[in-house]
Amino acid sequence: MELLAPAGNVQKLFYAFTFGADAAYIGIKNFSLRMKADNFSGDDYEAVHALKAQFPDKKIYCALNSIFHDAELAAFRREIDYFRRYPIDAFIVQDMGVVPILQKAFPAAALHLSTQASCVNSEAVKLYRQLGFTRIVLGREISLDEITAIKDAVPDMELEAFAHGAMCIAYAGRCLMSAYLTGRSAQEGECAHTCRWNFSVKGNPKALAESGALVLEEAARAGEFFPLYETDGATALLSSKDLCMIDHLADMQASGVDAIKIEGRMKSIYYVALVTQAYRKALDAVSGTISFAEAAPFVAELDNVAHRESTTGFYYGRAAANTPTSGASDSPYLLAGTVDRRLSAAALEAVVRLGEKTMAARAAAFRMLSPEAQISRRAIMAAHPEKTPRPVTARDGWELFEYTPLNKICITQDIEFIVPGRGVQCAAGGTWELIDPDTGTLSSWVSAGHRCLLYTAHDIPFGTIVRCAAGGTTSGRIRNGRRDTAV
């Protein structure tokens, strides 16, 4: 099965490919259902072409899956030349009005039917095949048995199904709740995720709501009850559990699924990297490339990504999808940064020389101070040794890397490298150093926005991400609040 990962921007596209996706889906400008994602614009197409050259066997699918009013179709026509700049292998669409436009403007690109089209039967699949579609992204309300029936009826049609990520309480995600409460339409890419909000029951019946005895009953459906629970002052009535099928990929393959999809174009690179790698290894185990025991540590990393309670959705029946949830489990880690280009031995020598020059200049400046000022400076340095610059010392077996910090780390703490294809590599304090590239001196800490080099004996290829303990989290605990720092 093909593994399809989300890519909300160029950086996420790189990590999707680096951590094992066969294909990635992107949105260009404001024509997909994730307008709040960064999306691709400007000269991003140049970076995308470079990634296609770096990963020649990978595919890129463009999500063009919103609904189009006539004005929006006209806007898309004006942007066609810009879309042509991207190496798009397929378009994911739900609005049939855009199909003839795509077929004329992009004859080499395949057409994939979006899950928003709610295709869940073989007759519909046959119709879409006649319209020129080569793949159906099945509606999420389908079961594995129904997928098998569709594949048997239309064996030449590729079937794609979601395997992991957020679900929507509305049928195929076609929800008007966001538009009703906020004026932002989910069908035009601006969903406010109002189903995840926490609602409080105001007035006197608070105790009743907390007891679980409060239920909804629709007038024409007497005896059918929807229970309302309130805990910690709020309840999420319509928030569905997350889908997780990582333990059932063999069943998905046996049913006739050709591609599995990970939800999350608005998620972080940490999410994209770890979830993609977990499913890559799980698929490799199903195919026999590696053992299930070898895949297990990668699969276990799913617990280290922020998530809600999980479910198998509708694949084995409706019961698993019928229970809403609230809150989420925090990741016990923060994304500390990304390891970028490995630098040459000559670059290291230049950094060492720069550090020596910096220290010599500081020594000369110190000698220019008055005796009283020197005494004061020595006292300050003795009281705060961490603020005293130290030059880089060349170490055997250590290598230098460009490093992009995204959260604060200190050299005294332990960090972990998430290495593509190899998993977690622990790095205790003292086995790595941070260097200020402007002075060639060691830094005791670094945070987002700082320029930095990473110096270490650990073998970490380009594409490695770095994480550190988040603190203040309880592994496996589902929280109802929100944590300020997202990963």
Q: Which residues contact residue 482 at a Cβ distance below 8 angstroms, ignoring those fewer than 6 apart?
A: none
Would you state the pLDDT for residue 485? 40
Residue ranges in the chain whose pLDDT is less than 50: 233-234, 476, 478-487
Half-sphere exposure of 265 (CA within 13 A, CB side): 23
Q: Would you say 39 and 22 are in contact if contact means Cβ atoms under 8 Å apart?
A: no
- CB within 8 A of 213, min separation 6: which ones? none
pLDDT of 486 reads: 39
Helices 292-300 and 269-287 cross at an angle (nearest 10°) of 160
What's the pLDDT score for residue 304?
Answer: 93
Tokens read off for 156: 């030449």
Angle at 466 between CA 461 and CA 470, to 5 degrees: 170
Q: How far apart are CA 482 and CA 304, in angstroms?
A: 17
DSSP class of 250 = H
**CA–centroid distance for 42 within its chain:** 22
pLDDT attached to residue 203: 52
Segments in 55-205 forming alpha helices (H)? 70-83, 99-105, 122-130, 144-153, 177-182
Beta carbons of 400 and 347 less than 8 angstroms apart: yes
Per-residue pLDDT, 192:
63
Single pTM value for the model? 0.84
- Rounded to 5 degrees, φ, ψ at 483 are -95, 140
Q: Which of 421, 422, 426, 411 shows the shortest CA–CA distance to 467?
A: 426
Quickly count: other Cβ atoms within 10 Å of residue 396's Cβ.
5
pLDDT at 341: 92
Give CA separation, 209 vs 201, 202, 213, in Å: 7, 10, 7
Q: Which two tokens stand for residue 303?
A: 């617990």
pLDDT of residue 178: 58
Taking the CA of residue 184 as centre, how many other CA atoms within 13 Å lie in the half-sphere pointing to its CB? 12
Do the beta carbons of residue 312 and residue 243 sit within 8 Å?
yes
**HSE on the CB side for 229, CA within 13 Å?**
8
How do residues 355-369 score in pLDDT, each as one tens digit? 999 999 988 988 888
Q: Please answer whether residues 306 and 433 qualify as being in contact, where contact means their C-beta atoms are separated by less than 8 angstroms.
A: no
3-state secondary structure of 214: strand
pLDDT at 150: 98
Beta bridge partners of residue 228, listed in sequence order:
214
Return the pLDDT at 242.
Answer: 86
- Position 215 scores a pLDDT of 72
On whether the CB atoms of residues 433 and 409 are closer than 8 A, the answer is no
Q: Where are the alpha helices (DSSP H) in 183-244?
A: 206-211
* Bridge pairing between strands 135-137 and 110-113: parallel
User: Which pLDDT does position 190 carry in this prediction?
Assistant: 62
